[in-house]
Amino acid sequence: MSVEGKLRTGEKLALLSASGPSSNVTVSAGDTANVDLTISVGVVSRILQNLGVKSISGLPVGVVIAGFTFPNTTTLRLVIYNPTTSAVTVTADSVSADVLVKAL
């Protein structure tokens, strides 16, 4: 997406796009599930560290984000919770996010 700034070390702060999941994810009523988004390297050579998430969109109505992790530098894993009384499906490639990273 965009380079937000440069550090004295020459590293960049960049806001990158993430999207996914690669296939449908169904979450049963009252259950949790992982939804993995792939971070697009885009304007940087290499991601050194994921710093945070600025925004997330495209999740089904009623689903709650219970947390997130970065299992590796190019994956944002959302932990979602379904508090409703019926199963909910997160459709493939329906979710997007903006991720702040330190990169080269």
pLDDT reported for residue 4: 66
Instruction: Please give the distance of CA 72 from its chain centroid, rounded to a whole number.
Output: 12
pLDDT reported for residue 1: 56
Name residues of the chain where pLDDT drops below 70: 1-4
Sketch the domain layout of the chain as residue ranges: 2-103
pLDDT reported for residue 44: 87
Phi, psi of 58 (to 5 degrees): 100, 0
Strand partners, 80: 33, 65
Nearest residue to 97 (alpha-carbon basis) of 44, 1, 19: 19
pLDDT reported for residue 78: 98
